[in-house]
Amino acid sequence: MELLSNQPRYDTVPDKYIFPPEKRPVNNVVNPSINLPVIDLRGGCIDSDIGRDEIIRDIMKAGKEFGFFQVINHGIQAKTLNDMLQVCENFFKMPAEEKKRYYSDDMSRAFFLNSSTQYDQSETRYWRDYMRISCYPIEEFIDQWPENPENFRAVLSEYTVRVREIASKLLKLIAEGFGLDRDYFCGDLSNGTKMKVNYYPPCPDPSLTMGLLPHCDRQLITVLAQGTAACGLQAKYKEGWIDVKPIPNAFVINFGHQLEIITNGVLKSVEHRAITNSGAARTSVAVFIMPDMESFISPAKEMVNEENPPLYKSFVFKDFLRIYTDLSAKRVDVMEAFKING
Ligand code: OGA
Ligand code: NI
């Protein structure tokens, strides 16, 4: 097993983590003056009418311009979020022996630990370890989650429930923003939940390697917590990359391929990547809300008319996942495969 987190520190970047120059962070450098919109969810009580129209407007505007935004005052307690980040950091700190039994690349497992990525065929390894967790329905998976560190299962279940609440509120607001039934995304379009906990150890030379190469998330919507230890996540904006700057207790929200397709391209699934840093380890928790495997996905009929013909094919979600993997998660190739006349 080759987990980065098994070694206390690195003095140099081993060759197998060194990317060819065109894939390094220096390309299309970031515009430092542009920040993602920050949307105040007013305590998460968005079922009341107060301020709802304004929040919907902000989400639609941010969604169309950036495909990414941050939410604050979302109703999840700081303790719930901090406990989650802490227990995940503690997991990666466990001795190699303890972590070894979770190491796998079997996608059918409800929990596994791995390093680098499974989606890129190239030889270079990513500077990250990660755990991938099937989360929902919790009862179906919890027995397969690790029992250590202490409280791991309890903290993860609480976090899953709370994050699903936020996602569900956001999806209702988005549906409303499009004039769809408020519950449009409830049920089989959003029943599934997977989590990826990424751990990026300090890197002796961040200019040579990457934590994650550019990709779009393949699900419906992503709710990401990134702590405040370091900057690392970058979102595509115009021809460059912008930093998604850590804000205490905020969540980063972005749309997956499924939301782009269902909204017939109005809400974009935007590419993002993770760079490393030399100062501190960075842990991020990405929760992906996703359709059931057998769900039928197509542009919503309400989003399509004579002036706006459907841009994407219809498919069953599990077939999308297969093709996404076959195409190594590359946005242009994935979207091309599902475009009409593409
Ligand atoms: C992901 C992802 C970004 C990050 O896991 O899909 O984009 O900041 N993570 O770790
Ligand atoms: Ni991602």
**Please, what are the averages of pLDDT over each run of 10 residues along the chain (342 residues)?**
88 94 84 92 73 93 95 96 98 95 91 84 86 97 96 98 97 95 96 97 96 95 95 93 96 97 96 96 98 97 94 96 88 90 62
- Res 119: pLDDT: 65
Is residue 223 within 8 Å of 259, Cβ to Cβ? no
Neighbours of ion ligand 2 (CB under 5 A): 217
- Res 26: pLDDT: 86
- Measured in angstroms, how far is the CA atom of residue 283 from the centroid of ligand 1? 10
- Res 328: pLDDT: 80
Ligand lying nearest the CA atom of residue 195:
1
Task: Using most ligand atoms within 8 A of CB, pick from 119, 129, 196 the residue to mutate for ligand 1.
Answer: 196
Ligand 1 contacts CB of residue 226 (under 6 A): yes
Is residue 320 within 8 Å of 338, Cβ to Cβ? yes
**Architecture in CATH of 36-338:** Sandwich (2.60)
- Measured in angstroms, how far is the CA atom of residue 49 from the centroid of ligand 2? 32
- Residue whose Cα lies nearest atom 8 of ligand 1: it is 233
Left, alpha or beta for 67 (phi > 0: left; psi -120 to 50: alpha)? left
Ligand 1 contacts CB of residue 56 (under 6 A): no
Q: Which of 233, 315, 240, 313 is nearest to 276 (CA)?
A: 233
pTM: 0.96
- Res 121: pLDDT: 58
Long-range contacts of 165-169 (CB under 8 A, 24+ apart): 165/44, 165/75, 165/76, 166/41, 166/44, 166/71, 166/74, 166/75, 166/76, 166/223, 166/251, 167/221, 167/223, 167/287, 167/289, 169/41, 169/44, 169/46
- Measured in angstroms, how far is the CA atom of residue 107 from the centroid of ligand 1? 18
At which residue do the structure tokens 């755990």 appear?
131
- Res 49: pLDDT: 67
- Measured in angstroms, how far is the CA atom of residue 50 from the centroid of ligand 2? 32
- Measured in angstroms, how far is the CA atom of residue 272 from the centroid of ligand 2? 6
- Res 120: pLDDT: 61
